[in-house]
Amino acid sequence: MKREEIFGADNVHEECGIFGIYDNGDQLDVSRLTYYGLYALQHRGQESCGIAVNNRDEEDKIQILQYKDMGLVQEVFNPLVLKELQGFAAVGHVRYTTAGASRRENAQPLVSRYQKGAFALAHNGNLVNVDKIREELQEQGAIFQTTNDSEIIAQLMAKERIRTNSTAEAMMKVMTEISGAYSIIVMTPQRMVVARDPQGFHPLCIGKIKNSWVFASETCALDSVNAEFVRDVEPGEVVVVDKDGLHSYTDLCGQKSALCVFEYIYFARPDSVIDGASVHNARLNAGKFLAKESPVEADIVIGVPDSGLDAALGYSYESGIPYGVGFIKNRYIGRTFIQPTQEEREAALRIKLNAMRETIAGKRVVMIDDSIVRGTTCGRIVKLLRDAGAKEVHVRISSPPFLNPCYFGTDIDNRDKLIACKLSLEETCSYIGADSLAYLSIEAMQNLVPECTRGCCDACFTGNYPVYVPEEANE
């Protein structure tokens, strides 16, 4: 369970994880492997999930079968469903959506039939020029059954594919029309087409199992199916896999890349390696930088589980202050947990997170967390430490303050809920009840992943958007 489930709305959400596998004669159980892969990507989306497969029927005709629903991977799939999803290729998706019974329609992959056949599409990211494209499509009479960008992309794909005989070319044509963040896997009856936007906003990697190919949002999904990591999909690259192997189309590569830096700070699993840089190392580095930039006399360094733990260890390494276990998180709190009543709201956190009195009592504590959105949750955690007897609480945040909305696939979409837009550092420190508060500097943040030679998108901190963001996206 990611922190968002614990702290409710007071956090940042990413919106998707994607996984694809193309069996090239290895007799793999592609739906089961996709199921394992989605498990490893579950942290990227817990609201709905789905799998589509290329099924060869008795007459050797290929049809696309799919199954998707609201819920966690383990809630949606069972052995009977997986058994029905036989095929030689599969594409899977996990999705975070805002709540609402009526949103089942938005689950992915999206399977579409068009003039030249059918395809399944899974998409991670957010387009910024979607309103203009939708308008154009609607003028031609298009209808939309979902509110997903994926449906936009699917319609463009169909239109372009009708005009050309190559799926790769169609995909590249679509990429010149859309702008923003997108990691895409398209499965057609004969091949798998994989694309990453020219800025490479979100991760997408290639792995191999014997002669078969695997694609996933993060390398931890490759590990889960015991695939060998081959390389990342390049920003702007289109990769096509068919029975003749893997083909790369790089016409759109070479633009200034802009990987979302928050993937390193919070979104991705620490055991993933993105564009050459270890997420775990990035977080250790964040902690080390914090220790250098904002040192403090203290007795113990602790992290807020799970995403603050790595940076806390880094802070300890650099500062020499011992690392300690500050909190125990209840591992059994799931989606169906019955929330405390309104009046007990104060106590809600206590059920999910318990401060370790032995580590904290009488100590000067450095507490590391990955970010502050509204500040309410952070304030409650500080209070847990005070109640457990902490003498001092020094909060260190392993990212700079959020000052700008994100248009590329997270839900930091509104300045109104960002505490850093409303309070000064001192006011925030006082609001959360800490003895001191420091954020990671912009400069340090830009040096978290020296191994990654590509640029990062840090617009939520700096306001430097790597692509033009139309006005209407600002609503």
Q: Which residues are catalytic?
A: 16
Binding of its own copies at residue 285 (CB under 8 A)?
no
Range in contact with its own copies (rule: CB under 8 A) among 79-87, 185-193, 231-239, 403-411? 79-87
Q: What is the rounded CA–CA span in Å between residue 159 and residue 115?
A: 9
Binding of its own copies at residue 470 (CB under 8 A)?
no
User: Do residues 273 and 219 make contact, with C-beta atoms less than 8 angstroms apart?
Assistant: yes
Binding of its own copies at residue 317 (CB under 8 A)?
yes
Binding of its own copies at residue 127 (CB under 8 A)?
no
Q: C-alpha angle 120/124/127, rounded to 5°?
A: 105
Instruction: Pick from 9, 25, 98, 144 the residue near its own copies by CB under 8 A.
Output: 144
Type of residue numbered 145: Q
Q: Shortest approach of its own copies to residue 206 CB, angstroms?
A: 18
Q: What is the rounded CA–CA span in Å between residue 164 and residue 102?
A: 37
Binding of its own copies at residue 42 (CB under 8 A)?
yes
Q: Shortest approach of its own copies to residue 346 CB, angstroms?
A: 9
Residues between 371 and 430 with contacts to its own copies, criterion CB under 8 A? none
Q: What is the rounded CA–CA span in Å between residue 124 and residue 203?
A: 9
Binding of its own copies at residue 35 (CB under 8 A)?
yes
Binding of its own copies at residue 154 (CB under 8 A)?
yes
Instruction: Pick from 27, 336, 342, 424 the residue near its own copies by CB under 8 A.
Output: 336
Token couple for 335: 């989606």
User: Which is nearer to its own copies, 220 or 390 (by Cβ)?
Assistant: 220
Q: What is the rounded CA–CA span in Å between residue 89 and residue 298?
A: 55
Binding of its own copies at residue 165 (CB under 8 A)?
no
Q: Shortest approach of its own copies to residue 436 CB, angstroms?
A: 25
DSSP 265: I
DSSP 311: H
User: Which is nearer to its own copies, 77 or 215 (by Cβ)?
Assistant: 77
For residue 119, report the phi and psi dihedrals to the nearest 5 degrees. Answer: -155, 155
Tokens 């709201």 — which residue?
345
Encoded one letter per residue, x for contact with its own copies by CB under 8 A and - for no contact, window 181-220 reads: ---------------------------------------x
Range in contact with its own copies (rule: CB under 8 A) among 235-243, 247-255, 267-275, 409-417? 267-275
Binding of its own copies at residue 231 (CB under 8 A)?
no
Binding of its own copies at residue 82 (CB under 8 A)?
yes
Q: Spell 303-312 as b/e; 16+ CB within 10 A means b.
A: bbbbbbbbbb
How many residues bind its own copies (CB under 8 A)? The answer is 90
Q: Which residues contact residue 194 at a Cβ distance below 8 angstroms, ignoring those fewer than 6 apart?
A: 20, 184, 185, 186, 204, 206, 215, 233, 238, 239, 240, 241
Q: What is the rounded CA–CA span in Å between residue 9 and residue 330?
A: 19
Instruction: Identify which of 191, 116, 182, 104 has the alpha carbon closest to the alpha carbon of residue 150.
Output: 182
Range in contact with its own copies (rule: CB under 8 A) among 14-22, 111-119, 243-251, 399-407? 111-119
Strand, helix or coil for residue 211: coil
